[in-house]
Structure 1
């Protein structure tokens, strides 16, 4: 089962506080493991502040308001931009699925700063990673649910409510979800 381009939705009994109520977009998944970006954990800075820190001049009012998110606990100084496919970067980008592309180069930040970036984008610091078979085991242990990715959840600017919205994609009301797993 290849979950590339899908959402992982943390179950209430996840057990790892770093992923509590997380919604993760999976950028890659295969026999070598998985890599994803949390789309609903805000960082303590916005894109404008990040551009200043990187000494990238910005004339974009939209960038000034855009949030930066914590993509996961691995390599938190490394940035990733998950974006719509309308943007063709100068350097390498990874097409994850028909509606999502990931770029991890400075050229996309420079283009965002000049309002030449993608129509929709989410910037994350760090990523979430799993070794071979690790994610499958966590799913089997009732740690995660999976759903098709929804651009409004992935790119939406309000992080509160994304977990509940992701559960609703599966027809699940968060108030009725139990932290206990049952096995037949």
Structure 2
């Protein structure tokens, strides 16, 4: 039973992450659509609201809950995981990802209501946070060592800095081409 729960967990983690990555990409396009004419924006806004709502309620959110349920089954079947320090670190990162998920939901509602203050560059940086959390979770699970996860966190910070630099470089390239 444990391996079935693990397989389901992995499958829905992939679905959840795909949903989060694509959702923020839609937010970026939705935000950038404001640069179009009013008529074009109205058409795009309506389409983005529809796409975001379907992605959120059909893929991302159900996948998050199924990921959590499968994890709970695994933890129930193997309660020794609760005493492992690396599991506490992993669960902290997972909690961060859940918070990220619900902040994305708030952004979705703000975009639908046309009250979002997020710029496309801020959304690009926001998108990278999910990547950093994913890396943190995977490295923590694979390494299962307090010392190794400390090195992993240092690596993640460096990785996050590199991502931010890449976003800034991309912004400058886009500004030059416009």
TM-score (norm 2): 0.29
Q: Larger helix proportion, structure 1 or 2?
A: 2
Q: Larger strand proportion, structure 1 or 2?
A: 1
TM-score (norm 1): 0.29
Whichever of the two has the greater Rg, that structure is 2
